[in-house]
């Protein structure tokens, strides 16, 4: 009978275990496909001390237990030898029919990982702490904003979940709350107050150069349309008889200047937005003053766009963002009281906030805004401050007081009878 193999501390070694001349332990095993694999550790048992100058890691027998569990659960060894970048590229290849913006987001993540060491790490080596540490590095060392990091993590979480579902890894290292790791330094887009809105519109209307944009900017402030919905409007979408705007598509443009039509952001985006008499008058002027181009531009079957640039191409969000930026710069160069940032999206915020403060039913406002979740309407787009709260409280108590007064009067009149 052969003698049991032992380590340098005279401990019996199990089948597959071996101690090298330098003291490091090795375990060799065969997976279900018949392929051999080796794992190493400087410690045989979890109670062994870590040799001086060596990295702390699981003991060999702790690793053996993990392998036993993985083989039982049919976890693919070594994460299928896939790197983080490999995994993301595989995930993206399976995503067909996605929107252009989503596709662009995937490409951004892939380009980031190609430049980062993190992208070359084997997926089974990525721990929760590694994922967190990398995102912190993107913010603190690389200077990426919270929004960019949020988008990157938004891709990597489902990517690693796919690896879990495919039995390539045990756990998803990106399944954590981002705000618990990375500081949210993003600037919230605030609505402007009513006076600022009036001052901005008055300035546009009276300016000799920017007055040509007045009707369009007025509409943005008074309808809450998304800018891509606004740019996609065609003549037939303005239903004057019904006093409403039909919203069922958006106009966007790629970096290569290719135009395309997409459906609204959510199913709730398909809607009719009511328009006031003033908004209707603005649309009438826009249509009446619209110069018919030599060749009417058509995008995915849509034609008759209300707003065309100098090249007779449909205007997109970038045009209006630029116009509003120049208007604000000119305004602030003239007046001491500075106008805060105004963008098409801030016009949307402002409209929603004004309607909420005016007492519009939240469900009605949700429909007009095209939000699928009323929480977005109430929490993201409405901006109520202390002054608003005080005003509303006073109005409420005034109303209650008037009701009490009427009640007392009614009681007196009964006694008189």
198 included as an active-site residue: no
In sequence order, which residues have a C-beta less than 8 Å from that of residue 217 and are 6 or more positions away? 200, 201, 204, 320, 323, 324, 347
Which one of 265, 313, 330, 357 is the catalytic residue? 265
Active site residue 29: no
Q: Tell me if residue 265 is catalytic.
A: yes
Catalytic residue among 144, 249, 349, 371: 371
Phi, psi angle pair for 246, to nearest 5°: -85, 125
Using an 8 Å Cβ cutoff, are 123 and 87 in contact?
A: yes
Cα gap 80→163, rounded to integer Å: 10
Which one from 226, 249, 271, 383 is the annotated catalytic residue?
A: 226
Q: Give catalytic status of residue 371 as yes or no.
A: yes
Q: Which residue has the tokens 């007045």?
A: 214
Rounded Cα distance, 174 and 89, in Å: 17
Q: Find the Cα–Cα–Cα–Cα dihedral 319, 324, 329, 331, rounded to 10°.
A: 140
User: Which listed residue (153, 348, 349, 383) is catalytic?
Assistant: 348
User: Residue 316: how many CB atoms within 10 A of its CB?
Assistant: 19
Contact, 351 vs 222, CB < 8 A?
A: yes
Q: Is 255 a catalytic residue?
A: no
Q: What is the largest CA-CA distance in the chain?
A: 120
- Give the bridge partners for 247, in sequence order: 271
Q: Which of these is catalytic: 122, 345, 357, 367?
A: 345
Residue with tokens 């981002």: 178
Rounded CA gap, 383 and 379, in Å? 8
Catalytic residue chosen out of the listed positions 25, 213, 214, 381: 381
Helix count and strand count (H, E) for the chain: 14, 10
Catalytic residues: 226, 265, 345, 348, 371, 381
């Amino acid at each position: 009978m052969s003698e049991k193999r032992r380590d340098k501390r005279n401990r019996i070694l199990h089948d597959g275990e071996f101690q090298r001349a330098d003291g490091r332990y090795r375990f060799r095993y065969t997976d279900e496909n018949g392929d051999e694999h080796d794992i190493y550790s400087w410690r045989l048992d979890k109670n062994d001390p870590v040799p001086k100058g060596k990295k702390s890691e699981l003991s060999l027998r702790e690793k053996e237990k993990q392998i036993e569990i993985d083989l039982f659960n049919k976890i693919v060894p070594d994460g299928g030898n896939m790197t983080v970048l490999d995994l993301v590229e595989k995930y993206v290849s399976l995503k067909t029919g996605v929107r252009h913006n989503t596709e662009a987001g995937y490409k951004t993540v892939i380009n980031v990982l190609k430049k980062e060491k993190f992208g070359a790490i084997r997926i089974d080596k990525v721990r929760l702490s590694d994922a967190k540490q990398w995102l912190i590095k993107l913010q603190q060392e690389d200077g990426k904003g919270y929004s960019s990091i949020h988008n990157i993590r938004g891709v990597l979480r489902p990517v690693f979940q796919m690896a879990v579902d495919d039995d390539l890894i045990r756990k998803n290292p990106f399944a954590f709350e981002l705000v618990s790791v990375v500081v949210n330094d993003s600037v919230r887009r605030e609505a402007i107050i009513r006076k600022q809105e009036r001052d901005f519109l008055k300035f546009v209307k009276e300016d000799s150069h920017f007055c040509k944009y007045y009707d369009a900017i007025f509409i943005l402030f008074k309808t809450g349309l998304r800018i891509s919905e606004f740019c996609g409007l065609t003549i037939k979408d303005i239903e004057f008889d019904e006093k409403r705007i039909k919203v069922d598509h958006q106009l966007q443009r790629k970096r290569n200047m290719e135009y395309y039509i997409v459906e609204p952001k959510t199913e709730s985006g398909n809607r009719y937005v009511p328009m006031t008499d003033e908004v209707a008058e603005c649309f009438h002027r826009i249509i009446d003053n619209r110069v018919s181009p030599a060749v009417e531009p058509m995008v995915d079957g849509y034609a008759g766009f209300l707003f065309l640039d100098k090249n007779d191409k449909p205007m997109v969000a970038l045009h209006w963002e630029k116009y509003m930026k120049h208007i604000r710069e000119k305004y602030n160069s003239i007046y001491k009281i500075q106008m805060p940032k105004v963008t098409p999206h801030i016009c949307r915020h402002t409209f929603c906030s004004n309607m909420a403060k005016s007492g519009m039913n939240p469900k009605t406002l949700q429909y007009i805004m095209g939000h699928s979740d009323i929480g977005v309407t109430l929490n993201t787009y409405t901006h109520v401050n202390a002054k608003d709260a005080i005003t509303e409280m006073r109005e409420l108590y005034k109303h209650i007081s008037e009701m009490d007064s009427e009640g007392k009067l009614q009681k007196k009149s009964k006694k008189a009878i």
